Amino acid sequence: MMPLLAGAQGAPVVPTTLSVEQAVELALANNPQLRQSLNARRSAAAATRSARGLILPSLNSSAGASWREGRQQVFNGIGFGANANTIGSSAGINAQLNWGAEVLLQPRSARAAERAVESEADAASQLLRTTVTQQYLISLQAQARAVLQDTLLESARLTVELARARAAAGSATSLDVERSEVALGQQRVQVVQARNTLAIEKLRLFENLGVDAPEGTIALTTSFAVTPVATTVGELVELARKGNPNVIARRDREEAAAVNQRIARAQYLPQLSLSAGYGGFTNVFTDNNFPVSQALLGRQSSCFQRNTVLQIVGQPSDAATCSAITLTPAEIAAARSTNSAFPFGLTRNPYNV
């Protein structure tokens, strides 16, 4: 069999001789209506996978970063917040599961609808095969009629020549010659009509194939033999009931409708919903020395508070001692280590279930 799909740009190439098998192959590969039916299969399969996915828990993740200017916010005359700029990050993941009769029945309904779409696509393929074969037969019939009209045209020409020869010999009249010439003209009209009909039927054939009709003459090469059918009508009906894709599609649609009815009733039943979350955050200062100064200020403020208490009770205090307090290198390193969590040293949030 000659290759039917070739070309640098993927355009179908139609051979100069076309059999019915090649015509069906071209139609199955290029007919736009059939392509739509086959694309519906993928959409139905995706809907089935989506329905099955409803049974599984859904996962949502989030991540973010923030920046805040180092400026205190005042509430009722009291300042809150640090004077240093801060940056932060956050991340979390949430899982949610919804179970109910409606969710559990969705995959069954989607699968029944998918089987119906598959059967409808098979029916479209079978219908296209039948349509192409019938149109091929019609084109063959038009081709045979065109050949017959060409033969009759040649016979009409011979009749005119014979009438002229008889008229020259005196055995026919001029009226006989004119009648034969009129018949020849009428036959020429029949030839033109037969050829136009053949061209139209071939165009209809290529319309079903989904390809452009090539330039030039296309020879239809398949011949059909008439054979008796040994199958009874009852056997044909039973075979159609079991294997006809349209009947199978109707059954699947009926099953899907019944399941959808159960789904509608299941909406009145209670559902089980579970959710859980896990996440964390960071919040650090852009100035790495700010935590050190805060730690030093905390040490000194404790000393100043003690001196204040001593002054209240009339005991001697030494403010210079408090101002002379410093941090050890280990304390400085510890203060700075608290400011190194950004961006992945997250502080865990409480579990949420």
Note the pLDDT of residue 156: 93
At 92, the pLDDT band (50, 70, 90 cuts) reads confident
- Mean pLDDT over 286-314 rounds to 77
Share of the chain above pLDDT 90, in %: 20
Token pair for 182: 């009129």
Query: What residue spans define the domains of the chain?
Result: 17-56+101-273, 287-340
If we measure between CA atoms, which residue out of 26, 24, 20 comes closest to residue 3? Answer: 26
Scan for tokens 């940056």, then name that residue. Answer: 87
Note the pLDDT of residue 159: 92
Q: Is 142 exposed, middle or buried (0-12, 13-18, 19+ CB in 10 A)?
A: buried
Q: How far is CA 213 from CA 81, 112, 160, in A?
A: 80, 40, 38
Q: How far is CA 65 from CA 88, 281, 284, in A?
A: 6, 9, 12
For residue 192, pLDDT over 90 is answered with yes
Note the pLDDT of residue 1: 38
Note the pLDDT of residue 8: 37
- Mean pLDDT over 77-93 rounds to 74
For residue 153, pLDDT over 90 is answered with yes
Note the pLDDT of residue 72: 65
Top-confidence residue, 321 or 135:
135
CATH fold for the domain made of 17-56+101-273: Outer membrane efflux proteins (OEP) (1.20.1600)
CA distance 322 to 125: 94
Note the pLDDT of residue 145: 94
Note the pLDDT of residue 7: 40
Tens of pLDDT, residues 251-266: 888 988 888 898 888 8
Share of the chain above pLDDT 70, in %: 92
- Mean pLDDT over 273-285 rounds to 83
CA distance 265 to 193: 65
CA distance 30 to 100: 44
